[in-house]
Amino acid sequence: MERNIFTDEQNMFREAYRKFLIKEVEPCRENWREAGIVPREMFTKMGEQGYLLTWADEKYGGLGIQDFRYQQIMMEEDAVYGEAGFFHTLHSRLVGPYLIRGDDEEQRARFIPKAVSGKCILAVAMTEPDVGSDLAGMKTNAQDKGDHWLLNGSKTYISNGINADLVVVAAKTNPDNPRQIGLFLIERGMQGFERGRNLKKMGLKAQDTAELFFNDVKVPKENVLGDAHKGFHYLMHGLAEERLIGAVGYVACSQRAFDITRDFVQERKAFGQRIADFQNTRFKLADLRTEIDLCQVFIDKCVEMHNEGQLSTEMAAKAKLYASEMEGRVMDECVQLHGGAGYMDEYEICRLYTNARISRIYAGSSEIMREIIARSIFD
């Protein structure tokens, strides 16, 4: 399906970014997967080219680009030439924006330039061993000690957890009110801040997803993000964009899976004919083509709405729900059409399949998305 939504300048940006990926990322993917982590220098290489926190104001070293299509382009190129476990989008768009939500100029000046350059890698820590979807049940807590906060608790499944220099950590700040949480900026080297294992996963092998521990960490007041009791408010603020980011990536990966499967079935033969010539294959690919195109139109509309400041939580939830569920269906059919090869790690479809399984779980699971959409129907 032809899409005419990008400007000439954006098409040039796509070309430049693609060249960067082909030179700096594509040749290293296998090594990173084996190592279970992307080298820190990759963040600085991205930073040098202006690819991190592109939205940040020029006074912090950013490009000041507010048009979300630039991020969309990067994610679409990542699906083909990038490495799924290299979570620069989490750094740039999921965590970076927290730094402006606290409305503290000193904090922005201290952290944003380093995040833009890639010298300070970002992570966000909400999930705990006993709590994921239901954040109000978190146990990590911070006590106000007058001139500092004392942070205690643990987090798990934290993306960029090993590489991170700055972690936005959610913690309860009022033992009598589970809805009152604060967001604390925890820096590498703070006493009492320890990292646990780099967790072994089904997919996203190059992603350093880790456990984090906080034992009596003294957090200076200047490392509290905004109001220490309004963490939920800051979390909610970015949710629509976070879900849109997910959706954009899932449809891009579905497109990639479709493309490589279309090529594969034209090469592979069985019973004296190409797999592509079986009616079953043609119909399956016709169904997938239709689903992906329909989803793409909806996602592009959501991007347009987001650029206009009109994307609602409920629309973003629909985008995330549909794109992630569709991605699951697409990956499954594409593995099937690859036959045994689809189960082999050396085939790209195998990795796309295992990477995709998390899309329906993190950044708000499909069930939570359905809850949000249902609320908009009945409330």
Ligand X SMILES: Cc1cc2nc3c(=O)[nH]c(=O)nc-3n(C[C@H](O)[C@H](O)[C@H](O)COP(=O)(O)OP(=O)(O)OC[C@H]3O[C@@H](n4cnc5c(N)ncnc54)[C@H](O)[C@@H]3O)c2cc1C
Pair 44, 119: CB distance under 8 Å = yes
Q: Which of 128, 62, 134 is nearest to 92 (CA)?
A: 62
Is residue 89 at the binding interface for ligand X, with CB under 6 A as the rule?
A: no
Q: Which of 37, 46, 158, 334 binds ligand X (CB under 6 A)?
A: 158
Our CA angle for 328, 312, 104, nearest 5°, is: 110
Where do the DSSP E strands lie in 131-174?
141-144, 148-158, 166-172
Pair 122, 96: CB distance under 8 Å = yes
Binding mask 175-204 for ligand X (x = CB under 6 A): --------------------------x--x
List the catalytic residue out of 77, 211, 242, 333: 242
Is residue 358 at the binding interface for ligand X, with CB under 6 A as the rule?
A: yes
* Shortest Å distance, C-beta 246 to ligand X: 11
Q: Which of 92, 53, 108, 52 is nearest to 222 (CA)?
A: 108
Q: Which of 367, 374, 375, 376 binds ligand X (CB under 6 A)?
A: 367
Our CA angle for 49, 51, 53, nearest 5°, is: 130
* Shortest Å distance, C-beta 23 to ligand X: 27
Q: Which is nearer to ligand X, 133 or 376 (CB)?
A: 133
Is residue 126 at the binding interface for ligand X, with CB under 6 A as the rule?
A: yes
Q: Which residue is nearest to ligand X (CB)?
A: 132
Distance CA 85, CA 379 (A): 38
Helix (H) or strand (E) holding 123: strand 122-125
* Shortest Å distance, C-beta 199 to ligand X: 8
Q: Which is nearer to ligand X, 89 or 159 (CB)?
A: 159
> Which residues contact residue 364 at a Cβ distance below 8 angstroms, ignoring those fewer than 6 apart?
133, 239, 242, 243, 317, 320, 372
Q: Is 352 helix (H, G, I), strand (E, B) or coil?
A: helix
Binding mask 105-124 for ligand X (x = CB under 6 A): ------------------xx
* Shortest Å distance, C-beta 127 to ligand X: 3
Q: Number of residues in contact with ligand X, rule: CB under 6 A?
A: 20
Q: Which of 159, 261, 281, 324 binds ligand X (CB under 6 A)?
A: 159
* Shortest Å distance, C-beta 337 to ligand X: 26
Q: Which is nearer to ligand X, 42 or 122 (CB)?
A: 122
194 is a catalytic site residue: no
Cα dist. 346→143, 340, 342, 349 in Å?
50, 12, 9, 9
Cβ neighbours, 10 Å, residue 63: 16
Distance CA 26, CA 21 (A): 6
Is residue 355 at the binding interface for ligand X, with CB under 6 A as the rule?
A: no
Report the DSSP beta bridge partners of residue 213: 154, 194
Binding mask 202-231 for ligand X (x = CB under 6 A): --x----x----------------------
Residue ranges that bind ligand X, judged by CB under 6 A: 123-127, 132-133, 157-159, 201, 204, 209, 358, 361-362, 365, 367-368, 371
| Residues assigned a catalytic role | 242
